[in-house]
Structure formats: structure tokens, C-alpha cells
Amino acid sequence: MSFGVVEGGPGEEFVSAISGHPFSQVQFTSERYPLSQVKLLAPMLPSKVVAIGRNYAEHAAEFGNEVPDEPLIFMKPSTTVIGHGENIAYPTSLSDRVDYEGELAVVIGRLCREVPVERAKDVIFGYTCANDVTARDLQKKDVQFTRAKGFDTFCPLGPWIQTDLDASDLALTTTVNGEVRQSGRTSQLINDIPALVAYVSAVMTLIPGDVILTGTPAGVGPLQIGDEVSVGIEGIGTLTNKVVSRD
Ligand code: MG
């Protein structure tokens, strides 16, 4: 098990293994594998996942919510994180409504706090696809989001981190069993990526590998056991996970 760099064109990608973690100087080993022979794990082990609620106007409106004056932040425990191809475990005994939320995830690359907006790009390592899986019934019932957003497997991330990308206007598409359910662009973010990095880091120190989920566009909806849900983002790739029963 190691980190690696994905290289090569579509259908011909290979993975070059690196020693250590990818946040400082990358040291390649001699190991190189076709991507098709590699099991991808979540591309980072975040100390925390900080998520933003209601950061697309149309999504706020679909639940009758106002757009907040300031970014609405909540956290998902690190134990929610799974990678591409791993299963989302539906907690059937505790929830009757589990939703997908396709989102762009920002991956932090440097230890930082109180990052000014204009320096946000210096602390961003890259971007990946995320699914902010949510037990919607529990979110409505509880005063806050911890239980609804915090089940094990409720934060698929991947398939990898794209490090060389302008993320300010990317198409984001969520499909369930191949059918398009969400279609948005990151240019519709109410609070943009530099603003979110500044806002979150004004509260808490961010550590390499920490993740900021930037919010979901309109079109969220329920998942059923057996569904296959994919979050695809232009310039990054597609994160796919199946839904299984936990109980
Ligand atoms: Mg969300």
C-alpha cells in the first residue's frame, strides 16, 4: 500500500508509486503498475473533513432554505471516508432516507491557519470528487448535522487528487444507476474556494490531507440499497460507489 502518481492518457493510465506521502518532495520508487491492476483507496487520510452547507442557491431553495449570510460549516468525522469503488453502508435500522450530495472537495497541502483569501491557492494541494452522503431524516430531526452526516462510509472521496487544475468553473455531474440527477458548475458556488479556505482556516488549523467539501448543487435525492452512485467532475474524474445495507 502506498501513494502513487497517476499518469498517461485515458485507458492507458499507469500508477508510479512514491515513497512517503505526497505533500512534500515526491520521491518515485521503481514500482509502476497499470491503473487497471491497482486498487484505489481514498486518496488521503484527512484529520478532518470540513463541509459547507447551502453553498449553491438552487440547492438551498430546493429545501426551502435561505442562503446563509456567512458560510455554514459542519464536520464529518475522518471515519466517514472511503475511496472509489468501496461501498456506502446504508444504516437501515436508523434511517429511512439517505441522500447523495455530489461535491467538489478541496485537499489542503500545507499546515496553515488564518490564510488570507489571496494566499489560499498556496495551501491547496489539489481537488477530488466527493459525495457528502446524508441521512436526511436524521438531519431534519436533530438540531445539528453530526449524526446525519457522520456514519461510517458517508464520505466517499476520489478516485484521486488532481493537483494541476483551475477549479473555478468545472462541470459537476451526479448520476444514480447511470441517470443524471445533479448537474452544476463550480462557478455557481456562493462562497468561492479561496473564500472557503480563508473562512475555515480562520477557525481551525488545517493539516495536509484535510478536506473542505464545497457544497452540493441542486438535485439531491435518495439512494436505495443496490444503487450505484457516481460523482464526476470535469478535469478530475469520476468517483463511483455502490450502496449496501449496513444491517
Ligand atoms: Mg453537502
Domain locations along the chain: 1-38, 40-245
Q: 190 C-alpha to center of ligand 1: Å?
A: 14
Q: Do β-strands 72-76 and 49-53 pair in parallel, antiparallel, or remain unpaired? A: antiparallel
How close is the Cα of 62 to the center of ligand 1, in Å? 13
Residue 90: the pLDDT is 98
Cα-to-centroid distance, 51 and ligand 1 (Å): 6
State the distance from the centre of ligand 1 to the C-alpha of 1, rounded, in angstroms: 30
Q: How far is the CA of 32 from the centre of ligand 1 (A)?
A: 36
Q: Is the pTM of this model over 0.85?
A: yes
pLDDT at 9: 85
The CATH fold assigned to 40-245 is Fumarylacetoacetate hydrolase; domain 2 (3.90.850)
Q: For the chain (length 247 residues), average pLDDT per consecutive 10?
A: 91 93 91 95 96 92 88 97 98 98 98 98 98 97 95 98 96 98 97 98 98 97 98 97 96
Å from CA of 197 to ligand 1 middle: 16
